[in-house]
Structure 1
Amino acid sequence: MKRLRKYILNNFSALFLSIFVPLFAIASVIFLIKLAAYTAIIQLTIWEMTKLYIFILPQLLFYTLPITFFVAATLSLFKLSNDNEVIVLFALGIKPAFIVRTFFWPAILLSAVMFFNFIIITPHATVLSKNFISYKKSEAKFNLSASEFGNSFGDWLLYLGKKNKDGSFEKVFLFNKKQKEEILIAAKKAQVINDAGILRLKLTNGQGYSYSTEKFSQINFKTMFINDTMKTDLINYKKPLQYWFEEKLEGRKKHLMIRNTLMSLFPVLTLFLVVSFGIVQVRHQKSKIYLYMFLTILFFYAGLLAVEKHLGFYTIPAVALFWLGVSYMYYRKTIVKKF
Structure 2
Amino acid sequence: MQRLQKYILNNFSALFMSIFLPLFVIASVIFLIKLSTYTAVIQLSIWEMGKLYLFVLPEILFYTLPITFFIAATLSLFKLSNDNEIIVIFALGIEPGFIVKTFFKPAFILSLLLAFDFLVVSPHTTVLSKNFLSYKKSEAKFNLAASEFGNSFGDWLLYIGEKDKDGTFSKVFLFNKKQENEEILIAAKRATVINDAGILRLKLMDGEGYSYSTNKFSQVNFKAMLINDTLKADLTTYKQPLQYWLSKENAGRKKHVLIKDTLLSLFPMITLFLIASIGIVQVRHQKSKVYLYLFLTIVLYYGMTIGLEKMFQYYTILVVTLSWLIATYIFYRKTIVNKF
Considering the TM-score relative to the shorter chain, is it more than 0.5? yes
Aligned partner of 2:172 in structure 1 is 172
Whole-angstrom distance in 1 between the partners of 2:149 and 2:172 = 12
Contact 2:201 2:231 in 1 (8 A): no
1:217 offset after TM fit, Å? Answer: 4.5
Whole-angstrom distance in 2 between the partners of 1:287 and 1:178 = 78
TM-score normalised over the length of structure 1: 0.93
Aligned partner of 2:148 in structure 1 is 148
Judged with a 3 Å threshold, the aligned counterparts in structure 2 of structure 1 residues 166 and 267 are, in CA distance, closer, same or farther, namely same
Which range moves more in the overlay, 217-226 or 111-120? 217-226
Aligned partner of 2:12 in structure 1 is 12
Which amino acid counterpart does residue 261 of structure 1 have in structure 2?
T
Aligned partner of 1:135 in structure 2 is 135
**For 1:143, what is the secondary structure of its paired residue?**
coil
Contact 2:168 2:191 in 1 (8 A): yes
TM-score normalised over the length of structure 2: 0.93
Contact 1:190 1:202 in 2 (8 A): yes
In the alignment, structure 1 residue 232 sits paired with structure 2 residue 225:
no
Which amino acid counterpart does residue 330 of structure 2 have in structure 1?
M
**For 1:230, what is the secondary structure of its paired residue?**
strand
Q: Give unpaired runs (5+ residues) of structure 1.
A: none
1:148 offset after TM fit, Å? Answer: 3.0
Whole-angstrom distance in 1 between the partners of 2:230 and 2:158 = 16
Which range moves more in the overlay, 17-26 or 172-181? 172-181
Aligned partner of 1:318 in structure 2 is 319
Matches for 1:1-339 after TM superposition, within 5 Å: 1-179=1-179, 182-211=183-212, 216-339=217-340
Which range moves more in the overlay, 200-209 or 212-221? 212-221
Contact 2:161 2:170 in 1 (8 A): yes
Whole-angstrom distance in 2 between the partners of 1:307 and 1:213 = 69
Which amino acid counterpart does residue 76 of structure 1 have in structure 2?
S
Judged with a 3 Å threshold, the aligned counterparts in structure 2 of structure 1 residues 316 and 156 are, in CA distance, closer, same or farther, namely same
Contact 2:198 2:235 in 1 (8 A): no
Whole-angstrom distance in 2 between the partners of 1:222 and 1:230 = 23
| Cα root mean square deviation, aligned | 1.9
**For 2:308, what is the secondary structure of its paired residue?**
helix
1:59 offset after TM fit, Å? Answer: 0.9
Whole-angstrom distance in 2 between the partners of 1:132 and 1:19 = 33
Which amino acid counterpart does residue 244 of structure 2 have in structure 1?
Y
Q: How many residues were matched structurally? A: 339
Whole-angstrom distance in 2 between the partners of 1:285 and 1:63 = 32
Whole-angstrom distance in 1 between the partners of 2:178 and 2:305 = 60
Whole-angstrom distance in 2 between the partners of 1:146 and 1:17 = 54
Whole-angstrom distance in 1 between the partners of 2:177 and 2:309 = 57
Contact 1:42 1:137 in 2 (8 A): yes
Which amino acid counterpart does residue 81 of structure 1 have in structure 2?
S
Whole-angstrom distance in 1 between the partners of 2:150 and 2:95 = 80
Structure 1 runs (4+) greater than 6 angstroms displaced: none
Whole-angstrom distance in 2 between the partners of 1:178 and 1:249 = 36
Contact 2:199 2:233 in 1 (8 A): no
Task: Tell me the alpha carbon deviations over residues 203-231 of structure 1, each in whole angstroms, 9 at most, x when there is no partner.
Answer: 34333334456654444444444334523
Task: Tell me the alpha carbon deviations over residues 43-87 of structure 1, each in whole angstroms, 9 at most, x when there is no partner.
Answer: 111111111111111111111110000000001111111111111
Task: Tell me the alpha carbon deviations over residues 180-209 of structure 1, each in whole angstroms, 9 at most, x when there is no partner.
Answer: 754332222322233432323233433333
Whole-angstrom distance in 2 between the partners of 1:249 and 1:221 = 45
**For 2:52, what is the secondary structure of its paired residue?**
helix
Which range moves more in the overlay, 245-254 or 208-217? 208-217
Which amino acid counterpart does residue 285 of structure 2 have in structure 1?
H
Contact 1:149 1:158 in 2 (8 A): no
1:319 offset after TM fit, Å? Answer: 1.0
Whole-angstrom distance in 2 between the partners of 1:241 and 1:26 = 32
Judged with a 3 Å threshold, the aligned counterparts in structure 2 of structure 1 residues 107 and 143 are, in CA distance, closer, same or farther, namely same
Task: Tell me the alpha carbon deviations over residues 8-44 of structure 1, each in whole angstroms, 9 at most, x when there is no partner.
Answer: 1111111111111110110010011000001001111
Contact 1:168 1:190 in 2 (8 A): yes
